[in-house]
Structure 1
Amino acid sequence: MPPSPLHAHLIPADCPPSGHTHAWRVRLPEGADTVRLSHLLDTAVAPWWPEATARPTLWSEPVPAAAGSTIADRRLRAELHRPLGTGQAPLRVVLLAYADGRADLILVAHRGFLDAASLRHVADVLLDRAPAERHAPPASARLAPADAELRKAWSVAEFAGRVEWAAGDSSAGDRTGVVRQALRDTAADTSGGALAVATGLVLGRYENQDTPVVGALTGHPGRPADALGPDAGTLLALDLSGARSTAELLREAAHTLTATWCDRQTYADLVAESGGRVLAGVLDPVAHPADGPTETYLPCQTAPFPLTVMVRRRTDGEPELEIHHRLADVDEAAARQFARHLARSLEQLSADAQETAPEDIDLLGDEDRDALVALGRPARPLEWQPQRIDEVFAHRAAERPEAIALSCEDHSLTYAELNNRADRFAGALHNLGVRPGERVGVCLDRSLDLVVTMLAVLKADAVYVPMDPAYPADRLAYTAEDAGLRLVVTALEDFPAGQARTIHPEELAAGTAMAAPAPGRGNEQAAYVIYTSGSTGRPKGVVVPHRNVVALLGATREDFGLCPDDTWTLFHSAAFDFSVWEIWGPLLTGARLVVVPYWVSRSPQDFRALLRDERVTVLNQTPSAFAQLVEADRQHEPDLAVRLVVFGGEPLDARGLRDWFDRYPERRCRLVNMFGITETTVHVTAQTVGRKEALSGSRSVGPALPGWYLYVLDERQRPVPLNVPGEIYVGGEGVALEYLGRPELTAERFVTDPFTGGRMYRSGDKGRLRPDGRLEHLGRLDTQVKLRGFRIELDEIRNVLLDDPTVTAAAVVLGSADAGDAAAARLDAYVVLAGGDTAAVRRRAAKVLPEYMLPATVTALPALPLTANGKLDARRLPAPAAGAPAAVAAPSAQPSPDSTEASGTGLAAALVEVWQDVLGVPVGPDDNFFELGGNSLYAVRLAAAMNERNLPPMPMRELYLNPTVNRLAAVLAPGDQA
């Protein structure tokens, strides 16, 4: 069938005009006969395109310099890269005549008008190398006017957004870089199909996609070899799930690239299935020959795809990869890495390896792999002496017996008093039958006795199991049973003990003054068990030995300047592992620990007053809790003594720290972002956050701590390329012993390090390694949701909302107005505002997010609900704000010239009724269907409802191009607008 005019625009519609343009240059050693050239152009070439707007003319220009000189080469490059102007013919013919008698003939054409082979054919005719009769465009391939509206609509669905594994330059504009990579295996298949499959394999690994979509621009497969015509184009959705072998992928790709034109709907469907990310495209190597001494082919003035891949032949005839990359999306280093991995993939797609599975293709060579393994290791070793926690505390107590160790409200204990009271408690525990290695429950509010009891359990050579008294009774009962607790120290009168005995701290204090026997277990034995949430809803106990905590202090003491002069706070629940750092950090370094009562921790104003009055110097906070403290601090003079703030527990968005730096400059207060996991002993990495990181919105959590190390691996535990997201694995001194009583889960998550043979923990967190060894934490692997076929990272939407200067906190969840209706599924956003309104927030987000990622509702809250650990409590988010979201201005939603008439009766009135029935919200004549909550599923229902009411048929294209009642009515029934 003849090609649709739209196929001239299969190049991504959001690329600059120069992305549609390529050029051919022929050197004429003896100069050119301008008269003959003009005659052939007018009599042989121009008649091929009778339309006046398509007829090319000859431009001739003398260059006052010899061919090959700097001036001549600069003029040649400028002409090759000069795009076609608006309203110009889609073929430009230029002759540059040099001072030494030589000349260059340059042809610049739109790909939708002439492909690479056609450019050569035109050059052959103009230079009398072939008769005009041999080459002519088929009648069906004449250039048709561009469908600008549909191109504009498709541009919304095309690749949009940040390439996470590359450092794009937002100021680069249309500039394109070019990188080349030799193909070492000369037997590698360099056909278009192999190139597309190899590109998809690399793209799938980089983007974590099972079905990456690759664009392809090729010569028209059904056109005679000598005929002129435009490029063909299609999209290939590659199945990398394992259901296809590489041989099958190659066969399918080859078939697709040699098939006839894809129709418009197929293209639109593929774009939709790809999640709107057409990031890479290939140019058919058969259609793009090598440069020679007298001929040069420029495949694109600027890259039509963010990554545009082709194979060229060097002057020695050997193939090499050539990647044109948009600098706004992909930097040179990332493009070079992509090219290197693409070359390895292409080389492995040789004939003798085609029956392998796609996942067997290894992107990394030994050198790359060794470098990545080394990159996740700290620059300096851990200098420490493995010891028990209580042993180190005893040394501090002996050094500073009269110094205040612990304070809570009006009470305090010196190091000697804390040591003696803990000894008394330990003796009482021993008398109650607690034996070495036994687990003892500790369910106390934050208080002096909470810390005393924990230390006493360790002195009794037992293992403490912290529980929060605010937890539901069922959870407390489950923990006590799962941990096999025989004894629980608690002040709760109704603790659901089950088989366990409960005892009040005062009963321990009233016991014998005799200390427990000296501990006999080593530092490698368990010190505590902290229960964390499980993916199935069943909490699991993490068993951590003494030595891990001591190692953590050894890894941070010097860098953080931890010393006896510091004052810390215990802000978090003892059942949250952040408290391990808060409690033992000060007590193992001789500092003072101020216990923050629960009611003070819930009031940012009261907590700030405590920080001021107690002259706290070391503060540990989740980012969510710290945001509330920052807001409270704004109402006072900046008089806090805090010198170090450590963030942990959840991802930090550094952009929210800018106001803090205005009040507490970096020289006065150091902020450190630490990534950690309960199973790896609180912290793994450390990143100092300064104003620079705050302004850039850095997500870096820094390099591994001394003694710890990390990898970013794929599902086969292979290192992923630099900057590419993967799963974070942690090894070293912080790895916990096990999940209590869960051998299968322990074996699944605590795995053998394939590079050292030691143990490492599989975190379930997503991250990427930067070239300097810093880790970027990208959230949980399970925060990805799927909505109407699109895979969406909720954190990405949250980050866009936080970019709004009026938003101080944000959360995004997948919600639904009707759990049983797939069309009702939606994204709901919750924001805390410092000014403005939710309509403005959504309008700004609409400028950044593609439509399918735009929250359907934006609800303002005075504060985000937090758990006892200071993290977002999604269960306590209220129902979204009622009503349709505020309208967002969009170019496609401008009223039609006849809007006043169309909003009356007739078809427009009927459309208002059917839209309201389908969407369930009030509809105005100029409201945008998609901004009212419409989506592709609702669009299908709308068409069906219109058919049931005998209204005119509605092509989907028309709804997308005319998404208001007035405009749609004017298109569907131009004569019935009243």
Structure 2
Amino acid sequence: NRVDLTFDTSGNRSPAELIDEVESARRQEVPRFAAEIDEMSNATTGVLETVLRDPGHTYLPCQSAPFPLTLVPIVETGGHTTLEVYADPASVDADTARRFGQWVARVVNGLRDPSPRRRGVFGEAVAPLGAGVRAPVSGGRIEHLVARHAHERPDAVAVTHGRRTLTYGALDEQSIWAARGLHDRGVGPGDRVGICLDRSVDLVVMMLAVLRSGAAFVPMDVRHPPDRLVYTARDADVRLVVTELEIGGGWDGVPVVTPAELSVSASVPGDVDWAVGGDGAPAYVVYTSGSTGRPKGVVIPHRAVPALMASTATEFAPTPGDTWSMFHSPAFDFSVWEIWGALSSGGRLVIVPYWISRSPVEFHTVLADEHVTVLSQTPSAFVHLAAADRDLEPLSALRLVVFGGETLDPRVVLPWLDRYPESRCRLVNMFGTTETTVHVTAHTVTRRDGLTGTPTVGDPLPGWEVVVADENGHPLPPGVAGEIYVGGAGVALGYLHRPGLTAGRFVAAPGGARWYRTGDRGRIRDDGRLEHLGRLDSQVQIRGFRVELGEVRSVLLDDPVVAAAAVVPSGRPEDPAGIAIDAYVVAAGSATETETETVAAIRERVARFLPEHMVPRTITVVDALPLTLNGKLDVTRLPAPVPRSVSHTAVEPQDGPLAEVGTAQTLTDIWESVLGVPVSLDDNLFELGGNSLCAIKADGMMRRLGLPALPMRELYRHPSIRGICGTLARLYPPRPDT
């Protein structure tokens, strides 16, 4: 039986007084267990008295260590006390045992201190990783990084998108004209401007133009649901939105302008005063998933981006001869590293169209044709690219692959290292968050890492600092897991319009600095490097995006037909591409539809508010949510998720040569394997729980079975087995007999 008693150990009280207090509490609070406690208490009190009251007696509790780690206090003549540590070498190594003993001694000495003081996370006990490592000379505003190259190398190509290219000189000039157009519409320092453009040259021009105007840009993904886009624009209180996207119902009163309209209507650029503020001003606001049910904006200052680029300049040695790919959504902060990493170093940025980014084979072709040297990937995307690479010609120009956005299992890189030796292509695993400007640490991934599977994310970048703390904010020694705190050059200004949330997550440190509580779990290794061990809260990582399960649940509960809801992650951690969300709902008493109709209606509404990666893979209707004795959700008692009901229509024969190889049946087998549910001829594969990563998996299986390539855009236009067969028949018509 366990009884928790709390005692005040502060003040200058003797060990005898503490022992008396323990005995008194025992007698008063736990009389039911008096007999059992008497026996234990007598033994425990005897040990304490021996160690603390009788310096002349040596206490030897055992001849050999009975536990993996055993501590024995020894009181020598004269009162000096030592702590002997016995460790089972099979369980605890000698260095860990030694450090543990030192920390126990420190705690005991702290109790004996007559004037103890509380030490927070920034006390002297544990120095943060990276402390004392000065940041490289950096600072300034982001647009200055580009202007320097426009002045020195105006004819060098800055951005490539398909057949369209833009030199540094042209990029600089076009951004100035667009900035003048923004100025004419009242945009100035302190404002925010929404940018909702597809991946394009115009996207980069507009980002640079907003920065030149003194405002901060708010990037939005054109493929997010309209309701989410409108919410973001209103929550960010943007002055206007630069977009070519037409939304039914409009942007809720927010002014809208196209890139062409900005440039055509702009007055003479020379009339503008470009003294737009210092490097501490906001540069951009990226919206991330929020636990309250709505996304929250993270405000990043200008100085953080040049600091990030300066901190990696020596390590990664970017040059004007490098070609970087922009693979990620502009609403995902990994793109900050891709865009400004290329342009700050004078390199060339190759913009990868969305549909090509969804097809590993087509993406591989772009990497080869454009001679990309620096590639950034989430582990989810890299797994599929590496699989496609095995059947294609090696990428001869690639020298650096940067992983970020989600946890990397280093075992997945082993096949890649077979084709690309470490001396030819360097793999770097980086940990970071949106609130700390993309990246915080860096670790070169080796074959040894792949064989051991160690989740190391390395050392802090110069100018960044990391500490691991317990739930009270106290620093933890190496080897002990806790929450990761990040300080230094990349810490955000806070959450937009969220002072309470900002105060709770951005904490003060001595000297006026601010540190960010990441909510990530980690520990410091013996060699001083950081290990990332997942999340401490309900956040999950899906395709590089951090998703608050609370936001998904909140959207479900907003539906009038849902009385209660629970959201849980599914998939295996070692397969980041397979991580998804399963939802369970209790239908409201007013619901009159069948269960199938209810699920379809709920899914349709959810898709109007959440981006694709946040839409639950399955929605299961239950009579009630199982609860623990404490009234919390009992995840272990949730039933297996129920996929969307399907009609088991027999696969019909197809016209043309595709029927000869049983294409329809083969495709059915492939998609049933990917989705794990029965698939009929006319089922919408995305309504069965499919997503872009499922499509990539299916595409890879099709190629291995010798089927023709299926453009990803066509799959989204015709997302059924019948539709795929029709598309293949249209794209690959039978050859005429000769």
**Which bracket does the TM-score occupy, shorter chain normalised?**
0.5 to 0.7
Distance 1:762 1:668 in 2: 37
Instruction: Give 1:535 deviation, angstroms.
Output: 1.6
Distance 2:365 2:47 in 1: 70
Task: Report the residue type matching 2:625 in the other structure.
Answer: G
Distance 2:471 2:268 in 1: 55
Q: 1:703–1:284: structure 2 CA closer, same or farther, 3 Å change rule?
A: farther
How do 1:107-146 and structure 2 match up within 5 A? none
Partner deviation per Cα, 1:592-649 (whole Å, 9 max, x = no partner): 0000100011111111111111110101111111111111111123234211111111
Q: 1:565–1:326: structure 2 CA closer, same or farther, 3 Å change rule?
A: same
Structure 1-normalised TM-score? Answer: 0.52
Q: Kindly indicate whether residue 115 of structure 2 is the aligned counterpart of residue 324 of structure 1.
A: no
Structure 2: give runs of 5+ residues left out of the alignment.
Answer: 1-11, 52-57, 541-567, 585-619, 629-633, 641-670, 677-685, 692-738
Who is 1:383 aligned against?
A: 136
Who is 1:455 aligned against?
A: 208
Structure 2-normalised TM-score? Answer: 0.68
Who is 2:626 aligned against?
A: 821
Task: Report the residue type matching 1:821 in the other structure.
Answer: P
**Aligned pair partner of 1:507 in 261, 265, 270:** 261
Distance 1:425 1:362 in 2: 52
Q: 1:797–1:471: structure 2 CA closer, same or farther, 3 Å change rule?
A: closer
Question: Aligned to 1:624, what secondary structure does the other structure show?
Answer: helix
Q: 1:586–1:188: structure 2 CA closer, same or farther, 3 Å change rule?
A: same
Q: Kindly indicate whether residue 425 of structure 2 is the aligned counterpart of residue 620 of structure 1.
A: no
Who is 1:694 aligned against?
A: 450
Question: Aligned to 2:518, what secondary structure does the other structure show?
Answer: strand
**Aligned pair partner of 2:147 in 384, 388, 394:** 394
Partner deviation per Cα, 1:389-440 (whole Å, 9 max, x = no partner): 1122111111111111101111111111111221221122222222222111
Question: Aligned to 1:639, what secondary structure does the other structure show?
Answer: coil
Distance 1:405 1:829 in 2: 53
Task: Report the residue type matching 2:166 in the other structure.
Answer: L
Q: 1:190–1:653: structure 2 CA closer, same or farther, 3 Å change rule?
A: farther
Question: Aligned to 2:209, what secondary structure does the other structure show?
Answer: helix
Q: 1:810–1:246: structure 2 CA closer, same or farther, 3 Å change rule?
A: farther
Q: 1:342–1:424: structure 2 CA closer, same or farther, 3 Å change rule?
A: same
Contact 1:812-1:827 at 8 Å conserved across structures = no
Q: Kindly indicate whether residue 314 of structure 2 is the aligned counterpart of residue 558 of structure 1.
A: yes
Distance 2:96 2:25 in 1: 29
Q: Kindly indicate whether residue 590 of structure 2 is the aligned counterpart of residue 778 of structure 1.
A: no
Question: Aligned to 1:686, what secondary structure does the other structure show?
Answer: strand
**Aligned pair partner of 1:259 in 36, 44, 59:** 36
Task: Report the residue type matching 1:781 in the other structure.
Answer: L
Q: 1:339–1:783: structure 2 CA closer, same or farther, 3 Å change rule?
A: farther
Task: Report the residue type matching 1:776 in the other structure.
Answer: E
Task: Report the residue type matching 2:275 in the other structure.
Answer: P
Contact 1:710-1:730 at 8 Å conserved across structures = yes
Distance 2:428 2:230 in 1: 37
Who is 2:600 aligned against?
A: none
How do 1:662-741 and structure 2 match up within 5 A? 662-741=418-497
Q: 1:422–1:347: structure 2 CA closer, same or farther, 3 Å change rule?
A: closer
How do 1:300-449 and structure 2 match up within 5 A? 301=64, 303-314=65-76, 319-347=81-109, 370=124, 372-377=126-131, 379=133, 381-449=134-202
Who is 1:271 aligned against?
A: none
Distance 1:245 1:475 in 2: 58
Distance 1:480 1:330 in 2: 54
Contact 2:158-2:349 at 8 Å conserved across structures = yes
Instruction: Give 1:692 deviation, angstroms.
Output: 1.6
Q: 1:585–1:247: structure 2 CA closer, same or farther, 3 Å change rule?
A: farther
Task: Report the residue type matching 2:153 in the other structure.
Answer: R
How do 1:951-970 and structure 2 match up within 5 A? none
Contact 2:457-2:532 at 8 Å conserved across structures = yes
Q: 1:247–1:695: structure 2 CA closer, same or farther, 3 Å change rule?
A: farther
Task: Report the residue type matching 1:328 in the other structure.
Answer: A
Instruction: Give 1:326 deviation, angstroms.
Output: 2.6
Q: 1:645–1:254: structure 2 CA closer, same or farther, 3 Å change rule?
A: farther
Distance 1:486 1:767 in 2: 40
Who is 1:759 aligned against?
A: 514
Partner deviation per Cα, 1:782-824 (whole Å, 9 max, x = no partner): 0499xxxxxxxx999956xx3xxxx786548798885523487
Q: Kindly indicate whether residue 625 of structure 2 is the aligned counterpart of residue 862 of structure 1.
A: no
Question: Aligned to 1:782, what secondary structure does the other structure show?
Answer: coil
How do 1:525-674 and structure 2 match up within 5 A? 525-674=281-430
Distance 2:254 2:113 in 1: 67
Contact 1:622-1:648 at 8 Å conserved across structures = yes
Contact 1:378-1:705 at 8 Å conserved across structures = no
Contact 1:460-1:519 at 8 Å conserved across structures = no
Instruction: Give 1:335 deviation, angstroms.
Output: 1.6
Partner deviation per Cα, 1:465-515 (whole Å, 9 max, x = no partner): 111111111211111111112311111111741121111222223334622
Contact 1:418-1:452 at 8 Å conserved across structures = yes
Contact 1:813-1:828 at 8 Å conserved across structures = no
Instruction: Give 1:863 deviation, angstroms.
Output: 8.3
Distance 1:412 1:463 in 2: 25
How do 1:293-304 and structure 2 match up within 5 A? 299=62, 301=64, 303-304=65-66
Distance 1:637 1:284 in 2: 75
Task: Report the residue type matching 1:862 in the other structure.
Answer: V
Instruction: Give 1:254 deviation, angstroms.
Output: 12
Contact 1:656-1:694 at 8 Å conserved across structures = yes
Q: 1:432–1:675: structure 2 CA closer, same or farther, 3 Å change rule?
A: same
Partner deviation per Cα, 1:498-557 (whole Å, 9 max, x = no partner): 121111222223334622432331122111111111121221111112111111111111
Question: Aligned to 1:709, what secondary structure does the other structure show?
Answer: strand
Contact 2:125-2:475 at 8 Å conserved across structures = no
Count of residues in correspondence between the two structures: 564
Contact 1:188-1:349 at 8 Å conserved across structures = no
Question: Aligned to 2:346, what secondary structure does the other structure show?
Answer: coil
Structure 1: give runs of 5+ residues left out of the alignment.
Answer: 1-184, 195-243, 263-281, 290-294, 786-793, 831-858, 865-872, 879-978
Partner deviation per Cα, 1:285-318 (whole Å, 9 max, x = no partner): 48999xxxxx9978264x4433334444557775
Task: Report the residue type matching 2:243 in the other structure.
Answer: T
Contact 1:285-1:312 at 8 Å conserved across structures = no
Instruction: Give 1:348 deviation, angstroms.
Output: 5.3
Who is 1:472 aligned against?
A: 225
